[in-house]
A and B are shown apart, each in its own frame.
Chain A
Amino acid sequence: QKEVEQDPGPLSVPEGAIVSLNCTYSNSAFQYFMWYRQYSRKGPELLMYTYSSGNKEDGRFTAQVDKSSKYISLFIRDSQPSDSATYLCAPDTGRRALTFGSGTRLQVQP
């Protein structure tokens, strides 16, 4: 079993839809929870960063962490075609060697 599991998609939604992306993990030592966005043939870029359990909102994006069930979510409201990318969850123990999920490919149709 992988340390981080993520549905690879692809996930196709119409413009304006609410998108829910999810990861599960097995390592209880994870304390930092990050979401990266990766456009085709580009490096990942940090989208959201959360420490411990709870919610964090930034514009159209909300990150949610439930450490009791080892479940991480990213919600995108009013999705746009420019949101079409691969989304990678990356929980971290703090040792800086990030452990990425396999990524979920999102396609937002105009």
Chain B
Amino acid sequence: GAGVSQTPSNKVTEKGKYVELRCDPISGHTALYWYRQSLGQGPEFLIYFQGTGAADDSGLPNDRFFAVRPEGSVSTLKIQRTERGDSAVYLCASSQGGDGSEQFFGPGTRLTVL
């Protein structure tokens, strides 16, 4: 596909469970970003990868959140012991890299924690 894809589009889970959210960036894009968007708010930065390494993880709220990008392409955001406050849309974006490169966003995964 031409754009950033995210799976699943919707995820409902119970408090305390573990979830994984997947992001497939645009082919050839070296930079990948995760954001979280709560209802009525703008996206909030979580983590940014350049290649396989996390270049900036300052936005991860606590140690329950973890993200990987082992081969420099697909990324997985992992949330342990989910809490109701984790309910949000998780957005992934990718860019070609370099300062000022446009970030292209996926449609997001809507996570609901019951």
Q: How many residues of A contact B (CB 8 A)?
A: 24
Does A14 sit within 8 A of B, measured CB to CB? Answer: no
Does B59 sit within 8 A of A, measured CB to CB? Answer: yes
**Chain B residues with Cβ under 8 A from A95's Cβ?**
56
Interface SS, A side: loop
**Chain B residues with Cβ under 8 A from A44's Cβ?**
43, 91, 105
Interface string of A72-107 (1 = CB under 8 A from B): 000000000000000010100011111111110000
A43 CB contact (under 8 Å) in B40, B58, B105: B105
Which stretch of B14-22, B64-72, B77-85, B95-103 is in the interface? B95-103
B40 CB contact (under 8 Å) in A8, A90, A98, A99: A8
Interface string of B38-71 (1 = CB under 8 A from A): 0011111100100000001011000000000000
A100 touches B42 (CB 8 A): yes
A46 CB contact (under 8 Å) in B41, B58, B102, B106: B102
Tally A-B pairs: CB < 8 A: 62
Does B93 sit within 8 A of A, measured CB to CB? Answer: yes
Does B111 sit within 8 A of A, measured CB to CB? Answer: no
Docked CA distance A55–B26 (Å):
31
A97 touches B108 (CB 8 A): no
**Chain B residues with Cβ under 8 A from A60's Cβ?**
none
**Chain A residues with Cβ under 8 A from B42's Cβ?**
4, 6, 88, 90, 100-103
Q: A97-B56, A102-B40 known; A43 and B48 CB under 8 Å?
A: no
> Chain B interface (Cβ within 8 Å of chain A)?
4, 31, 33, 35, 40-45, 48, 56, 58-59, 91, 93, 95, 99-108
